[in-house]
Structure 1
Amino acid sequence: MVEWFLYMSQYRMPIDEFVVRSQAAEGSGFGGVAFFDHLETPGMPSSPVWEAMGIATWVAAKTSRITVGHLVLCDAFRHPAVLAKQAVTLAEASGGRFELGIGSGSMPTELATFGLRTGDAAHRIDRLDRDLTLLKEYWGGAQSPAPTKPIPIVVGGTGPRTMEVVRNHADWWNLPGPQLGRLPELLPAIGAARASVQQMVGFARRGSDPREVAETSRKRWGQLGPGLVTGTADELVEFFTGLSEQGVQRFYVWFSDSAQPDAIEEFGETVIGRFPTA
């Protein structure tokens, strides 16, 4: 059995568009939705972008079943005491439907732009390790209220120190799609965490030309390398089955065309629906 999350980068579109897509995902076999965490849109600083915890809270209020989370929150953006309180509040308000996805921060220029002085990559991962330790202390009773049930932690990344953080703290480890070739090498290093993959998908729907879908997707996202897969429902089922057989237990599906709700529904029917359910 695998889990399916719809991943959306919350820029350009009005907030209600993300709500509609989340509701479509909820009715189509997806178990969750995930957003990114940036203060400006990567590569397009003038493009409007919605704040990560705010949009997750709004989507949780507008859905009833799916989990909400992030790939991933930037540790440097929030003091751990504040993040711990936000996480507990959202988890309780949603009936336990929040997961805390977090990373050390992948865009040093963004941090510098907004005056977040976080040091080099080694310093940032050390800080993430420290802050996750503090989060667990806050949730364990150092803050009140404590969570009524555990809040799952998702950590993304592939560096040796990051993998140590995964083993120390994470319930889930996420592998970015561009590094998919490293899956066999890294899986033994995740300890008790479960493996997920974030994958950009060019979905060739019924009646579409798969070659045109592939060409359009590659023009926009070809820089992702193996992080982009294109094909018909049958081809995507084969692709995701292969990863599942290697030990991946969750897929974060990122549609190359910011899929319309009916495309999300078709993906649920023709791809997700062909995998075993609990």
Structure 2
Amino acid sequence: MRFGVFVPQGWRFDLVGIDPAQQWRTMADLARRFDESTLWESLWVYDHFHTTPQPSHEATHEAWTLMAAFAAMTDRIRLGQMCTCMSYRQPTYLAKVAATVDHVSGGRVEMGIGAGWYEHEWRAYGYGFPGAGERLTRLREGVEIFAQMWTRGEATLAGKHYQADGALCYPKPLQQGRHGIPLWVAGGGERKTLRIAAEYADYTNFGGDVETFRHKDQILRQHCTDLGRDPQEIVRSTNVNIVIGANDQEIDDRFAAMVDRFRRGGLAQDKLDAVAKQRSAIGVGTPEQIVEQLRPLKDAGMGYLIAYFAEAAYDTSGIELFEREVAPALAD
């Protein structure tokens, strides 16, 4: 198993109480810490504009601006978004942005891409909120534009939602893989999303317990077979919220601190109750318990875990415990 890690950017109320003028320093210090560790292969942010699970006036820093900043101030670690919403930016423009950041980083960009889902921010930013079918069609057309621009240096497409007429991308990305920059197609939709992944993805990203993972994996394999692609070419990844402690009291304390940050951020009581109920989720427990939870996913073929630590901006002791006692037990 390989490991990536999220840097807090505010989207999940994970910068509450930190002066906005100091938030970049907090994020940058964590990025440097992860860059200096050989455990973490990649660092990640979310592509959102409003906090979740409830919009608020708390900070949410923009993903691709952070990508460019991290590219310039790190040396080793790879840089991803889980995941960029295709419809928030024209795909021709987004392909150009990603290619530029790839150069700034020395060839370390990972393109996480998905159809998008957060209706409130879609409407607030004036994007409307088309149905799932249209959002997925946009995803497929946009990924095709990426592939053309990154490998050929230009794209032409007469799509239903996106058009390109010789859109140029020079310099092309430093990376020249299957479609240029590695593509992570996020989402577990069985009929369309996993079909797009089977055609284009270097990595997939979907969640669920081991039974759900195996089911989605089988669907992906069938799409690959239908398209004549080797399913082993695609790395399976998942995101896990890690709440770790040496004992139950430490775990309870982490949850209490997390709920308190949500409360100070103005979260409604019903959503606070939902946060508290996550105590039984995968990724919560002592090191031994978390290894026991994650090993079946690894055995089922999940090869890349992206960890989120809600308290990272305030306390890195949980990260350190994960690094010492969980990752070595699961690493390849």
Partner of 2:199: 168
Larger Rg: 2
The answer to whether 1:40 aligns with 2:50 is: yes
Partner of 2:67: 56
Tell me the CA shift for residue 182 of structure 1.
1.2
Question: Which secondary structure state, in structure 2, belongs to the residue aligned with residue 198 of structure 1?
Answer: strand
For 1:65-106, what per-residue CA distance to the aligned partner results, in whole angstroms no more than 9, with x for missing partners?
A: 111101101111111111111111111211111100011111
Partner of 1:258: 312
Aligned equivalents of 1:166, 1:185: Cα separation in 2: 15
Partner of 2:252: 212
Aligned equivalents of 2:106, 2:251: Cα separation in 1: 43
Aligned equivalents of 2:279, 2:117: Cα separation in 1: 18
Aligned 8 A contact 2:312 2:319 in 1: no
Partner of 2:116: 105
Query: CA, structure 1 residues 256+220, in 2 after alignment: closer, same or farther (shift >3 Å)?
Result: farther
Tell me the CA shift for residue 209 of structure 1.
2.5
Ranked by relative contact order (alpha carbons within 8 Å, sequence separation 6 or more), the top structure is: 1
Tell me the CA shift for residue 229 of structure 1.
2.5
Moved more, 7-16 or 70-79: 7-16
Aligned equivalents of 1:180, 1:222: Cα separation in 2: 23
Query: CA, structure 1 residues 215+20, in 2 after alignment: closer, same or farther (shift >3 Å)?
Result: closer
Amino acid at match of 1:209: Q
Aligned equivalents of 1:46, 1:110: Cα separation in 2: 13
Amino acid at match of 2:35: E
Name structure 2 gaps, 5 residues minimum. 155-168, 225-230, 260-272
Query: CA, structure 1 residues 168+222, in 2 after alignment: closer, same or farther (shift >3 Å)?
Result: farther
Aligned 8 A contact 2:210 2:300 in 1: no
Partner of 1:147: 173
Aligned 8 A contact 1:24 1:264 in 2: no
Amino acid at match of 1:252: I
Amino acid at match of 2:170: S
Aligned 8 A contact 1:195 1:250 in 2: yes
Aligned equivalents of 1:172, 1:34: Cα separation in 2: 14
Aligned residues: 274
Aligned equivalents of 1:30, 1:161: Cα separation in 2: 31
Partner of 1:17: 26
Within the candidate set 207, 212, 219, 1:182 is matched to 212
CA RMSD of aligned residues (A): 2.4
Amino acid at match of 1:25: F
**Between the two proteins, what is the percent identity of the paired residues?**
23
Aligned 8 A contact 1:37 1:70 in 2: yes
Amino acid at match of 2:172: A
Question: Which secondary structure state, in structure 2, belongs to the residue aligned with residue 185 of structure 1?
Answer: helix
Alignment of 1:81-92 (within 5 A): 81-92=92-103
Partner of 1:202: 243
Within the candidate set 249, 252, 269, 2:324 is matched to 269
Aligned equivalents of 1:210, 1:181: Cα separation in 2: 30
TM-score by length of 1: 0.89
Question: Which secondary structure state, in structure 1, belongs to the residue aligned with residue 40 of structure 2?
Answer: coil
Aligned 8 A contact 2:207 2:213 in 1: no
Query: CA, structure 1 residues 263+214, in 2 after alignment: closer, same or farther (shift >3 Å)?
Result: closer
Partner of 2:297: 243
For 1:156-193, what per-residue CA distance to the aligned partner results, in whole angstroms no more than 9, with x for missing partners?
A: 1111211111112111110135x664111001233332
Amino acid at match of 2:200: H
Amino acid at match of 1:15: W
